[in-house]
Amino acid sequence: MKHHWLAGILLGLLGLPAGPPGAVEYPPAPTAAQLGIMQGRPVPDGKRVTLANWMSPPFNRWSLQNVPQLLPTATVYRGDGPPAELPVRARDLAGLRFEVTPGSTLSIAEWLAASYTDGFIVVQDGRIVYEAYLNGMQPQTHHLAYSLSKSVIGILAGVLADTGHLDVARKVEDYVPELKASGFAGYSVRELLDMETAIRWKEDYEDPYGNWRRWKDAIGWTPSAAPAEGAPEGNYEFLQTLQRDPDWTGGFKYVSPNAEVLGWVLERAGGMPLAELISRRIWIPLGAQHDAFITTDRSFAPAAAGGFGATLRDLARFGQLVLNNGRVASRQVVSEKWLADMRFNGSNQAWRNGQYRGYWNPAGSYRSLWYVTGDADGSLEAIGIHGQRLHINPVRRLVFVRLSSCPDPVSRADYDVSSRAIAAISAALSSRP
């Protein structure tokens, strides 16, 4: 591991010595302000966040809370009604300790500070029981959710399927004829939703020459003022260039462009831009307190796979919608049928035969752009790079949201430690005051 706090943890999780007993320490991660990032006017060289560095550490400590200052965005309007109630029934969880590695423990507060967390909330039975803001984040701060965005799109697909606007059995090109010559042609909307397409794609977040980097160029997340000669001019043009992988043998394969194609399909099926669809079909009926946003490319096409951003509490409200079988008060936003299908009809065989080959959540599945963990409580998750996580436990009636600016895009150690924290909190809340 490249970054300090996870190195000892990873060794311990692997059963290797991380140092003499009592020697492992996990100091708080420096905040953007402590690092001097975007501090002062003018901001000194080396401390400025730009399109060239905003996704990289340490600059992401500032950028993920300030995306609309860096990228074009479309507003996801919350409406003009009162926000859905999210009352507080606080529990003192900051000092709750859990085992990180054998013989090494952290309190919840220590874990949050060390793990580059920006915001963390726990909701039980629709009430906030614990909430923490770090690194300058506030309740009104919008934070990029990265691939949690996919799970928002998955619920939107369910809403449009409920109303008859979307048929998940139909082929992609039925909705988007522009994709007839692409690798997506012939796949159903359902196969997009479940990441079961054999697209030639490698989700490598750190390869400066890979297809993920080319996709970032297309969606406007890089400094290119104009595309290179012959390169796609935007997201939707880029999607038309992707082709099949003849060597893929089937099963789950994580391909972010699947969600981008789905966003395009939903725009065609719903008859309006994606930001407006999310607003009308989810964000307004959800009773969100604040507008959200989604980043757009130079042609104003949205980044459906990772460009959604919102406040911590509104993401908790979104999680509560899923926990409550699609209802907000007396209003059914997405059908119980869609959510039941999401929880129970994912293919464990596709998961085990797919990209992760069963080493992570071997009893799980992936359905409608959500992870189904396969644990005893039937928990669901939405996950984004750099530590974003929405965890829903339907049995214990719990929603967890963690927004972060971790240095590494993907860290198994970070995921495992956050899972231990979630398990400790869940156990503590199982005995109510």
Mean pLDDT of the chain: 92
Q: Catalytic residue at 151?
A: no
Predicted pLDDT of residue 226: 52
Predicted pLDDT of residue 17: 45
Tell whether the model's pLDDT for residue 427 goes beyond 90. Answer: yes
Q: What pLDDT band is residue 26 in, cutting at 50, 70 and 90? A: confident
Tell whether the model's pLDDT for residue 421 goes beyond 70. Answer: yes
Domains of the chain, by residue range, sit at 4-19+26-168+257-429
Predicted pLDDT of residue 8: 54
Predicted TM-score (pTM) above 0.85: yes
Q: What pLDDT band is residue 431 in, cutting at 50, 70 and 90? A: low
Predicted pLDDT of residue 101: 87
Q: Give CATH for domain 4-19+26-168+257-429.
A: 3.40.710.10
pLDDT tens digit string along 362-416?
Answer: 899 999 999 999 999 999 999 999 999 999 999 999 999 999 999 999 999 999 9
Predicted pLDDT of residue 265: 98
Q: Which of 63, 104, 147, 368 is catalytic?
A: 147
Mean per-residue pLDDT for 312-340? 97
Q: What pLDDT band is residue 21 in, cutting at 50, 70 and 90? A: very low
Q: What pLDDT band is residue 24 in, cutting at 50, 70 and 90? A: low
| Window from 59-73, 107-121, 345-359 with minimum mean pLDDT | 345-359
Predicted pLDDT of residue 318: 98
Q: What pLDDT band is residue 37 in, cutting at 50, 70 and 90? A: very high
Task: Please state the three-class secondary structure of the chain as a single string.
Answer: CCCHHHHHHHHHHCCCCCCCCCCCCCCCCCCHHHHCCCCCCCCCCCCCCCCCCCCCCCCHHHHCCCHHHCCCEEEECCCCCCCCCCCECCCCCCCCEEEEECCEEEEHHHHHHHCCEEEEEEEECCEEEEEEECCCCCCCCCEECCCHHHHHHHHHHHHHHHCCCCCCCCEHHHHCHHHCCCCCCCCEHHHHHCCCCCECCCCCCCCCCCHHHHHHHHHCCCCCCCCCCCCCCCHHHHHCCCCECCCCCCCCCCCHHHHHHHHHHHHHHHCCCHHHHHHHHHHHHHCCCCCEEEEECCCCCECCCCCEEECHHHHHHHHHHHHCCCEECCEECCCHHHHHHHHHCCCHHHHHHCCCCCCCCCCCEEECCEEECCCCCCCEEEEEHHHEEEEEECCCCEEEEEEECCCCCCCHHHHHHHHHHHHHHHHHHCCCC
pLDDT tens digit string along 89-135?
Answer: 999 999 999 999 888 999 999 999 999 999 999 999 999 999 999 99
pLDDT tens digit string along 182-239?
Answer: 999 999 999 999 999 999 999 999 888 888 888 998 999 998 645 555 556 799 999 9
Tell whether the model's pLDDT for residue 358 goes beyond 90. Answer: no
Predicted pLDDT of residue 45: 92
Predicted pLDDT of residue 213: 87
Q: What pLDDT band is residue 152 in, cutting at 50, 70 and 90? A: very high
Tell whether the model's pLDDT for residue 84 goes beyond 60. Answer: yes
